[in-house]
Amino acid sequence: MDKRAIGVFDSGLGGLTAVRRLHALMPQENIIYFGDTARVPYGVKSVATIEHFTQQIADFLLQQQVKVLIIACNTMAAVASQVVKEKAGAIPVLDVIDAGARAAVVESRSRAIGVIGTPTTVNSNAYARRMHGLDSGVRVYSQACPLFVPLVEEGWLEHEVTRLTAQEYLKPVLAENVDTLVLGCTHYPLLRPIIQNVMGKGVKLIDSGAECARDISVLLNYFEINRSREVEDKTEEYYTTASVLGFKEIAEQWLGEEVAVQHVDLDKELEND
Ligand code: DGL
């Protein structure tokens, strides 16, 4: 029994889709979530900038004595997972790309797999590299969908504009006859109905955040660092770099429960150590 929290972080609110799965699988675990809402989106930023921001967040969460770190943001996982692992030392680090890549390779029968993500994630080729590490014979077709993040943040989950945008982005993916498509961005599971509709029922969609949550539950059990279901003093902390109110409103809507949110200024916080 290990009471320390699971540290989850993302460039903004999107990583809450992974937290939702953690709640379903491991309701007893304490969670510290960090969303860098003041600096989102990361998906269009340079690798050096993303690495710098990611290190700051990892430092902050490691200071809170978390027992495991989850990189819920595909963009950070694509270009900065190594720097997090170096900082974390003995603390295990899991990320959505490892989890999503593994699930896709296991799931695909035709071995033709599609990946959609932010421009940085797609340009990094991280999904394809990790899939080829597992099965050198898979064919991976990647497509950047930069407009999906702002459409989700606008709340246009079922809007006609979103449907047309999805049709446009997914046209070349459809032409590749993939049987499995990785939703390689935190925001995309919220567009699942539209994406499934465009791709057709025969294509299996992989939610990397959900796969990562499953991996965490296996890891905690394996190392026996899970928290007993009997204990009741569960705590959750949510940190944002921007407005507490804005974060709280969306987080409560997505998670279906009340959350306590605190503002943090990373530059000041880390300077004081
Ligand atoms: N969290 C990012 C991801 O999963 C999407 C939002 C952003 O661009 O920062 O790639």
Question: Please, which pLDDT band fits residue 56 given cuts at 50, 70 and 90?
Answer: very high
Is ligand 1 within 6 A of the CB of residue 43?
A: yes
Which atom, in ligand 1's list, is nearest to the CA of 72? 4
Residue 93 has φ and ψ, to the nearest 5°, of -120, 125
Q: Which two tokens stand for residue 272?
A: 């004081």
Q: Provide the pLDDT for residue 268.
A: 79
Average pLDDT (111-126) is 97
Average pLDDT (45-72) is 97
CA separation, residue 4 to residues 72, 115, 251 (Å): 19, 34, 22
Q: Provide the pLDDT for residue 76.
A: 98
- HSE-up of residue 46 (Cα within 13 Å, Cβ side): 3
**Residue from 135, 132, 139, 195 nearest 165 by CA:** 195
Average pLDDT (74-88) is 97
Q: Which two tokens stand for residue 30?
A: 């304490």
* pTM score, whole prediction: 0.94
Which atom, in ligand 1's list, is nearest to the CA of 45? 8
Per the prediction, the chain carries an average pLDDT of: 94
Q: Provide the pLDDT for residue 97.
A: 98
Distance 89 CA to ligand 1 centre (A): 25
Q: Provide the pLDDT for residue 212.
A: 96
pLDDT tops 60 at residue 272: no
CA distance 210 to 127: 16
Question: Please, which pLDDT band fits residue 228 given cuts at 50, 70 and 90?
Answer: confident
Helix axis angle, 126-134 relative to 96-107, nearest 10°?
50
Distance 101 CA to ligand 1 centre (A): 17
Residue 113 has φ and ψ, to the nearest 5°, of -120, 135
* Residue type (1 letter), 10: D
Q: Which residue puts its alpha carbon closest to atom 6 of ligand 1?
A: 41
3-state secondary structure of 110: coil
Catalytic residue ranges:
73, 185
Average pLDDT (124-147) is 98
Average pLDDT (75-79) is 97
pLDDT tops 90 at residue 227: no
Average pLDDT (155-166) is 96
pLDDT tops 80 at residue 115: yes
Q: Provide the pLDDT for residue 271.
A: 65
Judge residue 154's burial from the number of C-beta atoms within 10 Å of its C-beta, 0-12 exposed, 13-18 middle, 19 or more buried. exposed
* Residue type (1 letter), 51: E
Average pLDDT (38-44) is 94
Sheet arrangement for strand 204-207: 139-144, 112-117, 180-184, 204-207
Average pLDDT (184-198) is 96
Which atom, in ligand 1's list, is nearest to the CA of 14? 1
Q: Residue 193 contacts by C-beta under 8 Å, 6 or more apart in sequence?
A: 157, 158
